């Protein structure tokens, strides 16, 4: 049975969390949602428009951006799936990837790409020009074990999920 003191503690905690987190995201059940198949493109391989383990997609300015995980690159397409260009290759240098796992695009069109096994996030223009990088291997602040999903919020902050 919940006593009066427990209810007060719960109310205080709710009040604190509501003031610290002014807006929360929520998940919606797909039970009442309608999904429409649009199109597909690509095949397995290393050529333009081919993929080796894609697991994310994002859109900006009429273009479709796809991290091509095992080919260590980002491919860019038009909305009909026609290949436009690509950037990146395998390696540890600036603009190179060791498993480009996911990406996020901010309001200015900058791409933030999770470079999973280089333990960093790399930033590029929407045309693929390298702008910067963050992170190193580890478990401390600013370090990653396997950066996976970057996301930008409306205030321009970048959030990154990490997994071991």
Going residue by residue through the chain (164 aa), what tens digit of pLDDT does each one get?
444 443 333 333 333 334 333 444 455 666 778 888 878 889 999 999 999 988 899 999 999 999 999 999 999 999 999 999 999 999 999 999 999 999 999 999 999 999 999 999 999 999 999 999 999 999 999 899 989 888 888 888 888 988 87
CA distance 67 to 34: 27
Looking up tokens 């649009």 gives 38
**Contact indicator for 53, 70 with CB cutoff of 8 Å:** yes
> Looking at residue 54, what is its pLDDT?
81
> Looking at residue 41, what is its pLDDT?
87
- Could you say which of 1.10.240.10, 2.120.10.30, 3.40.630.10, 3.30.70.1450 is the CATH number of the domain covering 35-162? 2.120.10.30
Cα torsion angle, 91, 92, 94, 98, sign: positive
Nearest to 23 by CA among 155, 159, 162, 161: 155
Nearest to 121 by CA among 73, 86, 158: 158
As a whole number of Å, the CA-based R_g of the chain is: 20
**Contact indicator for 92, 133 with CB cutoff of 8 Å:** no
> Looking at residue 30, what is its pLDDT?
66
**Contact indicator for 79, 62 with CB cutoff of 8 Å:** yes
């Amino acid at each position: 049975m919940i006593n009066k003191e427990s209810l007060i503690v719960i109310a205080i905690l709710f009040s604190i969390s509501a003031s610290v987190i002014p807006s929360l995201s929520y998940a919606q059940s797909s039970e009442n949602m309608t999904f429409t198949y649009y199109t597909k493109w690509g095949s397995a391989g290393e050529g333009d428009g081919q993929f080796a383990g894609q697991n994310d997609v994002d859109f900006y300015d009429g273009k479709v951006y796809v991290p091509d995980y095992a080919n260590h690159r980002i491919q860019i397409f038009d909305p009909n799936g026609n290949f436009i260009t690509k950037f990146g290759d395998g390696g540890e240098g600036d603009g190179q990837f060791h498993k480009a796992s996911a990406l996020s695009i901010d309001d200015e069109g900058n791409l933030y790409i999770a470079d999973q096994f280089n333990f960093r996030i790399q930033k590029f223009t929407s045309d693929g020009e390298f702008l910067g990088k963050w992170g190193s291997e580890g478990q401390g602040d600013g370090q990653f074990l396997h950066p996976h999903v970057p996301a930008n919020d409306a205030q321009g902050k970048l959030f990154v999920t990490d997994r071991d």
